[in-house]
Amino acid sequence: MEPRHPLVAAFAAHLATRASPHTRNAYVRDVKQLALLAVAGAPPVALERITGSHLRRFLSTLHGRGLSGRTLARMLSSWRGFFKYLAEEGKVKSDPCVGLRPPRSPKKLPDALSPDEATRLVVVGQGHVGLPLAMRACEVGFDVVGLDTDGDRIKRLDAGQSVVEDVSDERLSSALASGRYHPSTDGTAAAGFAAAVISVPTPLREGRPDLSFIESAAALVADRLAPGARAWWLAGHRSTEPAATAALAALDLEPVLDLGLRLGEGTGALLAERSRRLGLDATVVLADTFRGVVGAGSEDPWYRGGEHSDTSVALVEDLLGRFPGISTLVAEGMFPDDTGDALADRSLRLVHIDVDVYDSAKATLEWAWPRLGVGGLVIFDDYGFYECEGVATLGAELMAAAGRALRGITSLNGHLTLVKLSDEPLPTC
C-alpha cells in the first residue's frame, strides 16, 4: 500500500529511481512510523515542523516499546534521508536530525566460565619462577598446565624429577599424583584456560637483564597515548633483535648508529652526535680503562675485576670516525686517578657514569661534582641492575643525604639521575 501522507508519498517517488525496492520499502516504512508518531503527539505536529526535541521524544517512545538500539539507529538513518530530501525541496530550513544519536543497546555480558574452566591455569615456562608457581597453584586447587618448549625438561618433570632447587622431587610427584599438574610442550593442552602466567627467562645483555624490549613496547604505547611524542625521541642504535627493528619502523625513527651492535658501545658517539645536532659548543670526553672493571670491593659481590673488557681505543675511535663534525676526546686509563688531572679545567653539564662498582662510581662523582654547573645532570647507568649492588648502595646513600644540593630521580629502566640544585658541596656518603 502506498503511503497516504503527501510528503511521504513524494519521498517514496523520489527513492523509486535511486534505491533498490528493498531499501525503498525500508525507508518508507520508517518514515511512515515517523508520520504516525507526529500525528499521535500531544499536540500533533506536521512533518515539516518537526524539531530535534520532537525526534528525541519519538526515539524515547520507541525505545520504551522495546525497540533495540540497532533498530532505532536504522530508523534514524531513514529519517535523516527523509529530512535531507525535504531540505533539497525547500520544505524545511534545517535538518532536525543533526546531533541525534539513538539509545544504546545494552551490552551482552560474556559467557560465564564453567567451574572447571574457572580453576584452569596455564603457566608458560617451567623454570625457577614458573615451576614453583605451578606447584603452589596445584596445592591451592588449580588445575595447572605447565608449558615449556624444552622437551627434555618436560620429560623430567613428567617423570617426577624436579629441574629447580626450590621444588623437591617429592613435591613435584605429589602434584602429578593429584592429577592437577600437566607438564607439556603442546600449546593445545592449554585450551580453555581461565588465566595464563608467562614466566619465561629474561633476555640478558652482558649478563644483565635486557629491558630494551619493554622500553620499545612502552614507546609504541606512549606514541599512541600522546600522538607526536616520537618527535622528542632519539634512537641510539639499531639492535640486532628483530623486535627492535620492527619498533623503530613503527615509530618511523632512524637510529644514530646502525652498526649491528647489541651492547652499549655507541653511548659516547650518540652523545657527541646529539650535541652536534643541537649546535652545542661542547666536547664529549670518553673515559675508560679499556681493561674492564676496576675498583671492585666489598660492596660489589658480583665483581672481581676485569669484567667487560671487550672493547678498545681503536673500536671507539672507529665509531667516532663515522660521525664527521663531532667533538670528542678519548681518555684512556683509570678515571680519575690516571686521566682526571688532564681534564681538571673543564666545566661539565652532563656526566654519564657506567662503571658498575661502588668505589669507581663514587670517585668519578666526587671528581665531577665541583665542575658540574647548577642544573647539570649525573646519570648512573647501572643503578638498577641486580649485579651492580655497589652502585645501588651509592645511589641510596646519596639520595638519603641529598639535602638542598641535589635531587635523585630513578627510572624503570635502571637509571638514577642526579640533578644538581645548588653549588653546595656533594653530600658525604
pLDDT at 393: 92
Q: Do residues 333 and 339 make contact, with C-beta atoms less than 8 angstroms apart? A: yes
Spatial CA neighbour of 375 closest among 319, 313, 421:
421
pLDDT at 252: 81
Residue 235 has pLDDT above 50, yes or no: yes
Q: Does 301 share its domain with 325?
A: yes
Spatial CA neighbour of 382 closest among 408, 340, 411:
411
Residue 240 has pLDDT above 90, yes or no: no
Q: 61-65, 113-117, 222-226, 303-307: lowest mean pLDDT where?
A: 113-117
In terms of DSSP H, where are the helices of 228-334? Answer: 242-251, 267-278, 313-320
pLDDT at 149: 87
Across 396-426, b (16+ Cβ under 10 Å) vs e yields eebbeeeeebbebeeeeebbbebebeeeeeb
Angstrom distance (rounded) from CA 112 to CA 327: 65
Residue 105 has pLDDT above 70, yes or no: no
Q: Does 312 share its domain with 355?
A: yes
> Of 226, 246, 263, which residue sits at a domain end?
263
Q: Does 233 share its domain with 180?
A: no
pTM of whole model > 0.75?
no
Q: 195-204, 249-258, 364-373: lowest mean pLDDT where?
A: 249-258
Q: Is residue 406 part of a domain?
A: yes
The residue range of the domain holding 11 is: 6-88
For the chain, what is the mean pLDDT?
Answer: 83
Confidence of residue 373 (pLDDT cuts 50, 70, 90): very high
pLDDT at 322: 78
Q: Does 153 share its domain with 286?
A: no
Tell me the C-alpha to C-alpha distance, in Å, between residue 109 and each of 105, 106, 112, 113: 12, 9, 8, 12
Residue 31 has pLDDT above 70, yes or no: yes
Q: Is residue 105 part of a domain?
A: no
Confidence of residue 236 (pLDDT cuts 50, 70, 90): low
Question: What proportion of the chain, given as a percentage, has pLDDT over 90?
Answer: 25
Q: Is residue 427 part of a domain?
A: no
Q: Is residue 95 part of a domain?
A: no
Kindly report the CATH number assigned to the domain that includes residue 120. Answer: 3.40.50.720
Count of domains in the chain?
4
- What mean pLDDT is predicted for residues 173-190? 90
Q: Is residue 295 part of a domain?
A: yes
Q: Is residue 428 part of a domain?
A: no
- What mean pLDDT is predicted for residues 233-244? 66
Angstrom distance (rounded) from CA 132 to CA 129: 6
Residue 27 has pLDDT above 60, yes or no: yes
- What mean pLDDT is predicted for residues 363-386? 91
pLDDT at 174: 93
Q: 158-167, 208-217, 368-377: lowest mean pLDDT where?
A: 208-217
Q: Is residue 347 part of a domain?
A: yes
